[in-house]
Amino acid sequence: MDQLRCTAPLGVSTSRALNAYDRRDMDINGLVVSTWLAGLGIWPLVIVLIPNLLFRKYGQSAGKKRMSSLFQAIAIFLITTVAAFLVEKELSDKYLFLAVGIVALVLYLLRARVFPYKLKCVECDATLDFKTIYFMDDNLCTDCHSKKMAEQEAAEETAEIPTEKSEDESED
């Protein structure tokens, strides 16, 4: 180190040497990332699944997004499982990156189902609140949502569907 400092101006070589040292730590043939991920245990999964419980409250109107959050949980489960497996077998991070690549590709192909989120109302372009973005399938702002509900109700009324004709068959 002393020798480097003498030959190079202002510690440039020192910082280069440190960078090289950092890079050695990030070697993809190592297990740094896998070890870190495996060390997190089931927490990433728990963090994704806790909001999933909140979906019950919204029932049918949040069915699609509930599935989406399950898909996301499965993706996280796969990646953390691969990481734990690699650490266990003392393999390298490159397989983890491969697994992440494959999972990312599958998520991309299924993106309509995995990420159905919209930041703006699909009818009027108003910014949506978090509840709508994360839970509600219709991606409508409060105004458009209530408008749509009113329209549906009106449509049902004009259709005049006969209500439950439960006539008992009389015996002759």
* Least distance (Å) between residue 150 CB and Zn ion: 14
Q: Is 136 in the site for Zn ion (CB under 5 A)?
A: no
Quick one: which segment of 3-11, 14-22, 70-78, 141-149 binds Zn ion (CB under 5 A)? 141-149
Q: Is 128 in the site for Zn ion (CB under 5 A)?
A: no
Which residue is listed with tokens 């043939």?
A: 29
Q: Is 138 in the site for Zn ion (CB under 5 A)?
A: no
- Give φ, ψ of 127 to 5 degrees: -70, 135
Measured over all CA atoms, what is the biggest interatomic distance in the chain, rounded to whole angstroms? 115
Closer to Zn ion by Cβ: residue 15 or 146: 146
Site for Zn ion in 65-124 (CB under 5 A): 121, 123-124
Binding residues with Zn ion: total (CB under 5 A): 6
The alpha carbon torsion through 66, 68, 74, 79 (nearest 10 deg) reads -140
* Least distance (Å) between residue 101 CB and Zn ion: 38
b/e per residue 60-80 (b: at least 16 CB within 10 A): eebeebbbbbeebbbbbeebb
Write the DSSP string, 144-170.
HHHHHHHHHHHHHHHHTPPP---PPPP
Closer to Zn ion by Cβ: residue 16 or 148: 148
List contacts with Zn ion (CB under 5 A). Answer: 121, 123-124, 126, 141, 144
